[in-house]
C-alpha cells in the first residue's frame, strides 16, 4: 500500500516537472519574439520623439536668434548701435562743408528807392541774390546781375547771424557777370578761394545761397563739365569757360559760392537752365577780376548810357537744346536757335512788357535771333525805340513789345 502511494506520488512529481519544464520552454519560445517586437516599436517611437523634440529645439533657437538680431538692429538704428555707430560723422561730408562755409555766405536784397510798397511804405524789393565774403573787412563777391538790376537801387546785405548792413557796389564787370559789394563791418568770416583749373568732371560740389529769400539753402551735385564756352551763354568779348553742374542753382542762389569738399569756393553760382543744368563762373576768372578791380565805380560803364531791358539770357545751342529735350523740357521740334530767358527783373521793361522766365526769343523786329550777341546788337541800335519780340512760350508762338530804358 505504501509502495503503491509512493509510486503515484513519484509519477505526479515527474508529470508536474515535465509540465513545468514544457510550459517554461513554451513560454520562453513565445515571449522572446513578442519582447523583441515590442522593443522595436518602442525604439521607433523613441526615435520619432527625438526627431520631433530636436526639431522643436532648433526652431526655438532659430526664433530666439532672429528676434535678438532684430532687437539689436532696432537698437542700432535708434540708439547708435555698434554696427552703425559713427557713420553720420564719417560720411556726412556735405554737412561738414556747409558747417565750414555757411557763415561767410550772405543774402543780398535790391530795393528800388523810387517805388514803395502800398501797405508798408518801404521800398519795393526788385531783386535778390546771394554773395560770399572774400575779405574780413567787408568785401563781398556776387553776380553783376544781382546788384545792377535797376538804377537808383539800394543794396541791403544780411549776414549769416541776421545782421543787416547797407552795401555799396564797388566794382562791376557786366561781361563776366561779377561784382563786389562793400559793407562797413570788420572781422567777418571769409570764404577761402580754391583753384577751378584743378576741377575735374564728376567731383562733388555744394551750392550755397538764398533761393526765394531763404538764407543759406544748400544743394549738392557733381561737376558735369568744366569747359562750357562763354558764347553758349551769350557773353560777348570775354574768352572764358563755365562750370556746368547738376546742383540746383535757382534765382536766389545767384552770386553764392560753388564749394568743393575742401570748403573752398571754386565757382560763383550764375544761372540754372533747367533741373540738372546749372552754370557757375570759375573762381580763376574771379581772381583776375579782383586783381583788376578799382574799388571806386558803382556802375563801371565808362560814362556811356546803355539800353536796359532787365533779363538774363542763355544762347540755345544744339547741344543745350538736346539736353533740355532729354530732360523733358517743352522745347518744340521747330526751335533750332534763339535765346532762353532765364530771369526777368521785377519792374524792368521786359517785366512790364510781359516777358517771362522760360520764354524762348526767336526773333526781334522780324530778324532771326541766333544767340545772345544778336540781342545786344539790337539793343545797341539807338534808332530802335521799341522792340517787337517773337517768342515761344510753352509751345505757343506769341509776340510782345518792349521799350528799353536808357540808364547810366
Q: Which of 70, 89, 108 is the last residue of a domain?
A: 89
Q: Catalytic: which of 177, 284, 359, 374?
A: 177
- 184 domain-assigned: no
On whether residue 261 sits in a domain, the answer given is: yes
- Does 53 lie in the same domain as 1? yes
Q: Does 337 qualify as catalytic in the annotation?
A: no
- Cα 189 from Cα 102, distance rounded (Å): 9
pLDDT tens per residue, range 380-400: 777 788 889 999 888 888 999
Q: Which residue has the higher pLDDT, 364 or 127?
A: 364
- Residue 350 counted as domain residue: yes
Total residue count of the chain as it appears in this document: 408
Q: Which pLDDT score, from 0 to 100, does residue 20 have?
A: 44
Question: Exactly one of 145, 171, 230, 359 is catalytic; which is it?
Answer: 145
Distance CA 324, CA 120 (A): 41
Could you tell me if 309 and 396 lie in one domain? yes
pLDDT: which is higher, 335 or 259: 259
Residues 85 and 4 both lie in one domain: yes
Given the residues 176, 196, 215, 254, select the one marked as catalytic.
254
Strands 204-209 and 178-182: unpaired
**pLDDT tens track for 76-94:** 444 444 577 777 777 888 8
- Least confident among 22-26, 109-113, 191-195, 349-353: 22-26
Could you confirm whether 254 is annotated as catalytic? yes
Q: In this structure, are 401 and 330 located in the same domain?
A: yes
291 Cα distance to chain centroid? 33
Mean pLDDT of 301-307: 50
Instruction: Give the three-state DSSP class for 183.
Output: coil
Residue-wise DSSP of 51-112: HHHHHHHHHHHHHHHHHHHHHHHHHHHHHT-TTTTTHHHHH-HHHHHHHHHGGGEEEEEEEE
Q: Which helix (H) or strand (E) holds 227?
A: strand 217-229
Tens of pLDDT, residues 59-69: 777 776 665 55
Question: Considering just the CA atoms, what is the radius of gyration of the chain in Å?
Answer: 44
In a shared domain, residues 337 and 383: yes
72 in catalytic set: no
Count how many domains the chain has: 3
Cα distances (angstroms) measured from residue 307 to each of 35, 313, 403: 119, 15, 9
Residues 308 and 403 in one domain: yes
More confident site: 354 or 21: 354
Which residue range forms the structural domain that includes residue 391?
Answer: 304-407
Confirm whether 175 is domain-assigned.
no
Amino acid at each position: 500500500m505504501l509502495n503503491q502511494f509512493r509510486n503515484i506520488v513519484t509519477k505526479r512529481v515527474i508529470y508536474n516537472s515535465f509540465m513545468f519544464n514544457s510550459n517554461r520552454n513554451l513560454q520562453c519560445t513565445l515571449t522572446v519574439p513578442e519582447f523583441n517586437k515590442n522593443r522595436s516599436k518602442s525604439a521607433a517611437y523613441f526615435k520619432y520623439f527625438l526627431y520631433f523634440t530636436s526639431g522643436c529645439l532648433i526652431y526655438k533657437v532659430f526664433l530666439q536668434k532672429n528676434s535678438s538680431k532684430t532687437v539689436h538692429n532696432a537698437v542700432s538704428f535708434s540708439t547708435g548701435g555698434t554696427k552703425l555707430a559713427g557713420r553720420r560723422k564719417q560720411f556726412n561730408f556735405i554737412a561738414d562743408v556747409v558747417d565750414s562755409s555757411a557763415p561767410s555766405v550772405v543774402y543780398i536784397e535790391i530795393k528800388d528807392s523810387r517805388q514803395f510798397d502800398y501797405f508798408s511804405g518801404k521800398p519795393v524789393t526788385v531783386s535778390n541774390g546771394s554773395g560770399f565774403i572774400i575779405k574780413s573787412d567787408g568785401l563781398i563777391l556776387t553776380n553783376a546781375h544781382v546788384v545792377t538790376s535797376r538804377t537808383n537801387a539800394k543794396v541791403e546785405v544780411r549776414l549769416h547771424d541776421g545782421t543787416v548792413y547797407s552795401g555799396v557796389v564797388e566794382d562791376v564787370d557786366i561781361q563776366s557777370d561779377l561784382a563786389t559789394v562793400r559793407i562797413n563791418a570788420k572781422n567777418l568770416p571769409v570764404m577761402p578761394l580754391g583753384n577751378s583749373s584743378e576741377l575735374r568732371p564728376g567731383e562733388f560740389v555744394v551750392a550755397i545761397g538764398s533761393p526765394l529769400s531763404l538764407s543759406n539753402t544748400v544743394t549738392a551735385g557733381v561737376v558735369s563739365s568744366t569747359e562750357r564756352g562763354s558764347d553758349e551763354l551769350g557773353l560777348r568779348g570775354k574768352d572764358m569757360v563755365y562750370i556746368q553742374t547738376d546742383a540746383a542753382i535757382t534765382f536766389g542762389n545767384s552770386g553764392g559760392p560753388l564749394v568743393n569738399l575742401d570748403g573752398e569756393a571754386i565757382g560763383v553760382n550764375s544761372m540754372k537752365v533747367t533741373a540738372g543744368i546749372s552754370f557757375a563762373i570759375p573762381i580763376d576768372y574771379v581772381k583776375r577780376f579782383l586783381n583788376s578791380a578799382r574799388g571806386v565805380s558803382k556802375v563801371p560803364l565808362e560814362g556811356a548810357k546803355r539800353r536796359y531791358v532787365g533779363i538774363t539770357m542763355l544762347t540755345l545751342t544744339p547741344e543745350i537744346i538736346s539736353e533740355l529735350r532729354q530732360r523733358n523740357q517743352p522745347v518744340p521740334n521747330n526751335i533750332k536757335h534763339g535765346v532762353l530767358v532765364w530771369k526777368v527783373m521785377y519792374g524792368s521793361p521786359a517785366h512790364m512788357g510781359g516777358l517771362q522766365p522760360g520764354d524762348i526769343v526767336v526773333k526781334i523786329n522780324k530778324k532771326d535771333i541766333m544767340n545772345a550777341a544778336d540781342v545786344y546788337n539790337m539793343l545797341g541800335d539807338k534808332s530802335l525805340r521799341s522792340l517787337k519780340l517773337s517768342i515761344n512760350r510753352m509751345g505757343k508762338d506769341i509776340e510782345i513789345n518792349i521799350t528799353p530804358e536808357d540808364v547810366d
